[in-house]
Structure 1
Amino acid sequence: MTITTERTSAGRRTTALARGFLTGGVIGMSPAALVVGTVVESVPLFVAGLVVPLVYGLLLHLAGAPRRARQAAVEPRTALALIGDREAVQGETSDVPVRFELTVAPDDAPPFRVTVTQDVHVADLPDYRPGGVVVVAYPPDRPWRVRIVKRPTPRWEERAAGARLDSAPGAAVVAEPPEGTAAGFVTLLGLVLGAAAVILLFRAELFGPDATALPPATPGPSASSASWTVAVSAESGSVALGAGRSFLDEGELRRAVASLTGGAGTREALSVVVQERLVSVVFAPTGTRGPRFDPRSLPYARIPALVEEARTTLGVPSARTWQLTADRLTGSLTLKVAVTGPGGPASLEADGQGKVVRRTPAR
């Protein structure tokens, strides 16, 4: 049996659901506002797409300040722990993320097992061998947040040097309580509604007649099969995969974009948005200038690795949804991968070659 900490208040669950819905709404609204603002040439809408996420993030940080203060006021508990196993995760610096399986043995409570990931300098890795005893600290109300104390006091260092610990039974596992499927659902609902609200508010400018423009092209055909559905028009195109398939599968995304752009055609795009089973392309209007790019130039081979890195290294355990947005709104081609999960939203950005240039972990 896994040991978890039970939620004590229905009000907290309601607050978490409301926060997830608002977060999803902001994530959906922001790229939609940037794309629609570019298409309809609305500077206020484009600026809103940039400012609203920043303001929301600041408000979210301020709203969480009392909770963080309460948690910081709780004195951490110190204990000895036995290293059962370790696994180093490849890193880009001298500090390597290492996944430890520990048996924590508090002085006044039964021992328990926990899995944590902590950065360790490569020169210090020999000090953390399986079977070794280390000093750890953790909040009493959140025992799954165990951290290895790298420089313990002389008394604890002496205790660790002479201690002999046994592994706790497999049933005595401490884990963070799951948020449940409701949190993921409301976040996804907020994302969809946020994007839809922007499009509906500006549908007249997006899809209405333009007296100064050339006659609109006849919408392209839609193709549907058991494996995917393709819809193409003069302004945009989308491909939806069937059940059991993903755009992270090898070659799927490249084939889907080729079906929308005509393969060897020259249709340029304002943005490409990719989700697990849906890809959408907003095409650049003919005869206008703007931050456009050739969708065929995307680093397709790097996209699955970018999504996996966003899921596993940004502090969002069990990420439930992800979305990749490619555009040139900042001048050069940028890929942004946003993930959501129990830890909140997080994202990373990469350049046109798929090299990560910025990470925004969960708060």
Structure 2
Amino acid sequence: MPTTTRGAAPPARNTPADLARGLLTGGVIGASPAALVVGAVIESVPLLVTGLALPAAYGLVFFLAGAPRRAREAAIAPRTALAVVESMEAVGGEGTTDVAVRFDLTVAPDDDGPAYRVAFTQDINVADLRDYRRGGVVVVRYPPENPWRVRIVKRPTPEWEERAAGARVDSAPGPALESEPPEVSAVGFVRLLALLLAAAGVVLLFRADLFDEDAPAQPPPPPSSPSSPPTTVRTSASGTVTLGPDRSFLDKGELREAVATLTRGTDARGALTVVVQDRLLSIVYAPTGSQAPAFDPDSLPYDRFPALVEEARSSPDVGTPQTWQLTVERLTGSLTVRIGVTGTRGTSWLEADGDGEVVRRTPAR
């Protein structure tokens, strides 16, 4: 049964309904995310609800508006026609009962209309694959208004099966239809323009809240009170320095200055131990003429102490760090810096040498 071939499809036209639908769709797409973002920034619950409800309401209106068209299409019986298999390729479903096969067919409408090419994917039972071959004639069915929605009739009626057995269908030139014809550029342009205008409109409408244009000028913060002076207590055997609550011995130069204050005027005696906490420094001096293993407090690697304390505090095995203590001594012959950090999981230790280099770590227990 020879058939005629059809040429290129006529160019799509912009109807007012298409443009209006594109305008409304772009407006919803632009306004909804903009409302959600602006509502979150300015903490506006009504704006957040609007951003969520707008696409839902538009979807409901779109569904209801399309109900008559869907009812008309459902009332029209699908058309049955013959088609010739131009090509076929399995694209998925290996090892299962059904295989997804991509068909390229030339469909010859039964109403003497022009033949056309169409491409689609349909699941075929593995046992039925031998019934389909290139150049074979099959029976297809499609909605009259959507000729690209073609499906192969796997079990046609005896009449159509007999017609397919003795028919010959000429190939039609491509390209093959795969879906609904794409919308024309004017509709896409209108949608994009509406999207940008809607998003910009939401931002401009709430620009005062976004950028605090009407917010009164904040008064300058009151001047901070001067730092509390440290408390120094020194005896012939020891000395302590206590800082105020707004200072720390981890601040740059704070510990070195405090040690210099305690060691000044001590007849160059060395120290047996130096113990440092966040705001408390204690030094025990070596007795005069003693052979105890003392050291010069001025020779300590003060610049390394903040980094060592931070490294010890960042140990994950102590949990949340709460207190720390740095101890310097020379009981074993060489200068040793030990830092203990107590946290929610216990106390861990970090040991360094006289140059501030880490030599040992002891995890919390």
TM-score normalised according to structure 2 size: 0.49
User: Which has the higher Rg, Structure 1 or Structure 2?
Assistant: 2
TM-score normalised according to structure 1 size: 0.50
